Structure 1
């Protein structure tokens, strides 16, 4: 376990700034988790496919990544306090745009709603990205001798937010009987989405009147150009590749995990509660990262975590019972817990002259990977295998529930995924659709999107009894295959971490470097693969 000299803070208000950063990351976690819980509502309300939903969630993470990278280049020059004020404002703007989606849908249809949700999530992520660009180097500066330990504590705010958002989604979700009867209507998703503003207000209050130190490198007089130059090495590029894989497997998977496990257990509520459980486990484990790395080193922790991540995803993809889902999710949670903050710590420990730039580049690349590749790719995999399963086993049903316009992802072939709105109508046998029609009639209004969906249901309703089972089976098959294929990512990570461990062992073992080390300042060798 770390000794007292390891945990001496570099500023008298270090703990207050640490917990303010914790609340900022918690706000991001709440927004991310609530969004995961309302994806089904978005699919049913606006008719999105899984690929479109993945693009919306991915857009948020993409904005997160871009802003971390850009902001980290100017963080010390602008000042951490001013940046956090900007993040506070951006979080409120994002809420306004996101909540405008239903009005946009009425005025401009599905595409208009998509734009509101996409850009609302993007601006939300911009605010998160500004926070991340500040709180990571800030924590590394405040606790220079215990970076891994305190960065893990800082990032315990993420699973704490997932727990709060997941519980809120569970209590506010609709309750549906086995025959499709709606026992309790879902709380409006707009109310659920607004919950993230509570921790936003809290972190804003905690930062009022506080003094912020500059990063470790900036305080030592290292310029932004020197920070950038210090990370232009093969080792740092290798770490960037690894962190891109971390972003894919952790955040990309988290965008979908509760939905997929809900399908496996045939109960969306159980999927949400399993997500809450694994997030609670992550929250607790991140407080004990310090003692663990003192025993097996940061790279050893990352290697073990990757193996557990691959095993957990494989088990989840093949689970057939509630018990197996819990066991598999536990293994997966233990695997992903330490990956993100420990990777940031490794980058900061090996490249202290990189300051906010080094840690920002790593965080940004991880988010970009999750947003541009992870979220959309996992959504595409679900669409691909679900549509393939339904087409192979019940082609007439597939024709009824496939979207009209095919969509692809990157270089992968275009496919006609399943229409989320149609699948939702099938799930409750058109009860919610009928309620919407009654409400429109009572108000003397018409809605083109409702009319189109209602007309489709009139033609599909006679086949509903024979369609329900194959559609459910196809959705489950798509989710299972997506998880099994994603397990390949942490498998590759484990191999790369093992190479790093062997490389460092060849030069005397892994060790943290501090900015005042004579070896660093005189240009000594920092580790394997460095120029």
Structure 2
């Protein structure tokens, strides 16, 4: 095996460390994918309402982004890569132990203690993923200093791989409609310990290099001075848009498309994840031809086209084609942006790459998810008022809500719509649970009062209400995707400006801290394939 002396001494096994880093993302993806399939098991086994389940699964999402940024400041000159990955391994193991303790805790202490057990387990899982993300990006950039974009894309193929594995496990073994056999939720969830144990064993066994910046003697102060660069700040702004359009859309796409292709939306998500997984192995040859910024510009065109098309497609084949275009577009955004920062600002070390990743995550949690949700509410409300204004008044929320500087709007009350769709089954279960606990909430009481007063009197009225609300929701989702397509359009303009800027400077070139660049790599950040 060959080793680049500029990256590490012969005792560092580059491919082993790359595989270990890859496994951290698989562990994260499997955990997310499986958990989506076992929520109903938690509801039935422990008596949780959907509100409680939403709070549990939301634990730590914004904290994920903050964790990335915080630990990035410790990766270069303080703790180093190995210690942080050992910490991440310990957190991953602790998260599964705490989560699996839910059943015995339920028997000993009841529902409230079980809720906190699951919430803390999910939160620790998010912290572990944040520590991993703070390490693996600068680690791979250090291991492959002249092939950063190529190998960062390979690294981030681990995330869609984990989603695919977790999704398939959930589809086969989770929920009442499991395709093969419904297993106790503890069994599929514990499977994310397989990639966790693999990367943990490798991390404990392998030696790690100092970071590229630390090996060059770059101080923390010098790393922080990189943030004075207008180019870096511009890249941060673009990556906030990447987080919005990629992770923000992904958090909603299954929910939006479920109204259009009932029962098949999750399979569509697995399909786009598979596109990402395969194509990320080929970033090197692509950037060798058009450079990273050219690749990002092309991706923004595909992303914009795919999202707008998804907002219009009606037939099955059109939806698959639109999803394919969207999948092609979002494939290279995140890792290639990290590659550009790593190539242009190697003196920033883990800090610049960590802040980049953290900004993307924070944007997804604070802007992408809420923003796309707001657009759905805004357009669904408009459609509902056109179709049946009296019915809208019956099902609208009690208060108006806004997003950023956009106007306040009423929305369809999700709780009321949920009661209508299952004809009060979940509400009855929730009421029974709270009655047994001796504390029926005001919300549950109000919802019961509303349902008794507004329950459809016959099948025709019920069908009309369901169809009208479904039509409004489909319209709201489609319009949200169309308007979200503006974000990759703006990204495309930003990438075009960067292409023009670097053309005026003699072309895009990566900055290296060790040795000399090869003539074939100086404009690309990638090579034709693995050099091992």
Range into which the TM-score falls when normalised by the shorter chain = 0.7 to 0.9
Unaligned runs of 5+ in 2: 518-532
SS of the residue corresponding to residue 228 of structure 2 reads coil
Contact 2:164–2:273 (CA under 8 A) maintained in structure 1:
yes
Contact 1:314–1:483 (CA under 8 A) maintained in structure 2:
yes
Counterparts of residues 173-322 of structure 1 (less than 5 Å): 196-265=192-261, 267=262, 269-322=263-316
**For residues 474 and 274 of structure 1, do their structure 2 counterparts lie closer, same or farther at Cα, with a shift above 3 Å needed?**
same
Q: 1:74 matched to which residue of 2? A: 74
Q: 1:448 matched to which residue of 2? A: 440
Aligned mates of 2:341, 2:485 — CA distance in 1? 25
Aligned mates of 1:130, 1:414 — CA distance in 2? 37
**Out of 372, 381, 385, which is 2:379 matched to?**
385
Q: 1:469 matched to which residue of 2? A: 467
Contact 2:245–2:368 (CA under 8 A) maintained in structure 1:
yes
Aligned mates of 1:451, 1:475 — CA distance in 2? 24
SS of the residue corresponding to residue 402 of structure 2 reads strand
Residue by residue over 1:17-66, the C-alpha shift from the partner in whole angstroms, topping out at 9 and shown as x without a partner, is: 111111111222233444566789999963549xx96x987764422221
Pair 1:323 & 2:317 matched: yes
Q: 2:149 matched to which residue of 1? A: 148
Aligned mates of 2:227, 2:430 — CA distance in 1? 57
Q: 1:373 matched to which residue of 2? A: 367
Residue by residue over 1:93-121, the C-alpha shift from the partner in whole angstroms, topping out at 9 and shown as x without a partner, is: 5564799699799659xxx97x9887765
Contact 1:62–1:122 (CA under 8 A) maintained in structure 2:
no
Q: 2:491 matched to which residue of 1? A: 493
Structure 1 residue 420: Cα displacement: 3.3
Contact 2:3–2:14 (CA under 8 A) maintained in structure 1:
no
Q: 2:527 matched to which residue of 1? A: none
Contact 1:46–1:421 (CA under 8 A) maintained in structure 2:
no
**For residues 165 and 89 of structure 1, do their structure 2 counterparts lie closer, same or farther at Cα, with a shift above 3 Å needed?**
same
The worse-fitting range, judged by mean Cα deviation, of 299-308 and 65-74 is 65-74
Aligned Cα root-mean-square deviation (Å) = 3.9
Aligned mates of 2:17, 2:99 — CA distance in 1? 30
Q: 1:481 matched to which residue of 2? A: 479
The worse-fitting range, judged by mean Cα deviation, of 324-333 and 25-34 is 25-34
Contact 1:317–1:484 (CA under 8 A) maintained in structure 2:
yes
**For residues 186 and 276 of structure 1, do their structure 2 counterparts lie closer, same or farther at Cα, with a shift above 3 Å needed?**
same
Aligned mates of 1:138, 1:378 — CA distance in 2? 33
Residue by residue over 1:229-286, the C-alpha shift from the partner in whole angstroms, topping out at 9 and shown as x without a partner, is: 1342111111111111111111111111112122121x1x310001101101110000
**For residues 40 and 138 of structure 1, do their structure 2 counterparts lie closer, same or farther at Cα, with a shift above 3 Å needed?**
same
**For residues 186 and 445 of structure 1, do their structure 2 counterparts lie closer, same or farther at Cα, with a shift above 3 Å needed?**
farther
Q: 1:528 matched to which residue of 2? A: none
Aligned mates of 2:393, 2:185 — CA distance in 1? 30
Aligned mates of 1:472, 1:38 — CA distance in 2? 26
Structure 1 residue 368: Cα displacement: 1.4
SS of the residue corresponding to residue 318 of structure 1 reads coil
**For residues 335 and 381 of structure 1, do their structure 2 counterparts lie closer, same or farther at Cα, with a shift above 3 Å needed?**
same
The worse-fitting range, judged by mean Cα deviation, of 70-79 and 284-293 is 70-79
Aligned mates of 2:5, 2:309 — CA distance in 1? 38
Residues paired across the two proteins, number: 500
**For residues 408 and 72 of structure 1, do their structure 2 counterparts lie closer, same or farther at Cα, with a shift above 3 Å needed?**
same
Structure 1 residue 196: Cα displacement: 3.9
The worse-fitting range, judged by mean Cα deviation, of 60-69 and 466-475 is 60-69
Structure 1 residue 404: Cα displacement: 3.6
The worse-fitting range, judged by mean Cα deviation, of 290-299 and 386-395 is 386-395
**For residues 491 and 59 of structure 1, do their structure 2 counterparts lie closer, same or farther at Cα, with a shift above 3 Å needed?**
farther
Aligned mates of 2:41, 2:386 — CA distance in 1? 28
**For residues 135 and 183 of structure 1, do their structure 2 counterparts lie closer, same or farther at Cα, with a shift above 3 Å needed?**
closer
The worse-fitting range, judged by mean Cα deviation, of 79-88 and 56-65 is 56-65
The worse-fitting range, judged by mean Cα deviation, of 66-75 and 381-390 is 381-390
